[in-house]
Homo-oligomer: A and B are copies of this chain.
């Protein structure tokens, strides 16, 4: 039911030298599905990560932050089916124990293991089930298992999300491959749902962190399904350096710009894939707000529209009830908004011009745009030159159904 989102083809996902992946079935929430992923990172790789800003962040996020300060990661251990969030000291202990278990099987320090969990909040993690499958997982690590990993981290996702891109740096082709999961509790804040991205490019660790933050702001931080920032959001970017091109150390170098462009392309694809697969989504909506005094106020208007249950249900119904968009703009809290300068359009169909109903608007023209599975809501504020863009989806019966029945 995802909106114009095809499952990835294993052949399109390129291995990254220095990265191997394994999946396993630990029966964490339900038996029989792959729900554990182990990602091995070669020595001397650089790794950057961003995490949720939710104050109630999950135990694994706290452990990740702690371990990252101590040493460079060598293994990422991910489970779906249980978020290990809201689990208190027992949850912290479980996350630590899972890292220790990886340490025992692989011989690396437990601080070199980063744990990640996604799934239901508030239930203790059955860490013994994860421990039991680790020896097999380590034995099965493979370079060409990105698709398997993408599938194993899914929760309410209906389609796996994965992509590879390549770019040429100083004459040398480098590859970036990434996977992501997420469909609900999606309003990333300085991070995202779970996403793991690796490249063989040679990039210094400090620059890798800068690049990740920059690209986040242009991709995962622009999406919202339901406005609910998760307790477990995390995005990891690894550079194994195996491409052996000249190391990138400066953000303003040609190579860095080229790499950031390719990484942005990949992250936008994954971020938009999360929205296309948003819980119950039937439409993919871009909200483009221009003419702002700053980009923050453009985002404020865009998110007010994106989170309005009335706008989202009208989109679901393909009802050009544009009064709801206008009401959302009006309540978005902008100081001294001059309505006589506001324009609103659905794709190319103008609905409000200078605060008045557009003279050439007809219900038939609005309906034609609303019938599409993808459309852009344009709002021009007439207050300045800045703009911003947010991607979201509609609110359907299935959103309620999925979230009312999530734990059953």
- Name A's B-contacting residues (CB within 8 A): 53-57, 83, 85-90, 120-122, 184-185, 187, 189, 226-231, 307-310, 313-314, 316-317, 319, 321-324, 326-331, 334, 337, 339, 352, 355-357, 395-397, 399-401, 403-408
Contacts and interface: CB of A to CB of B under 8 A. Distances in A.
Contacts of A85: 323, 326-327
Given A56-B329, A309-B226, A330-B54, A323 B400 contact: no
Contacts of A401: 397
21 contacts: A54-B330, A54-B331, A56-B327, A56-B330, A85-B323, A86-B327, A87-B357, A88-B355, A122-B321, A122-B326, A185-B324, A228-B331, A229-B327, A229-B331, A231-B330, A307-B307, A313-B400, A317-B403, A396-B400, A397-B397, A399-B400
A65 to B, nearest CB: 15
B400 A334 contact: no
Contacts of A184: 310
Contact of A309 (B121, B327, B395): B395
A323 B226 CA distance: 16
Given A55-B337, A321-B121, A404-B313, A86 B326 contact: yes
A121 B56 contact: no
A378 B290 CA distance: 40
Contact of A310 (B54, B55, B226, B357): B226
A308 to B, nearest CB: 6
Given A121-B321, A122-B322, A314-B404, A55 B189 contact: no
Contacts of A185: 310, 324, 327
Contacts of A397: 397, 400-401
Contacts of A329: 55-56
A135 B314 CA distance: 38
Given A86-B322, A121-B324, A189 B331 contact: yes
Nearest to A366: B122
Contacts of A227: 307-309
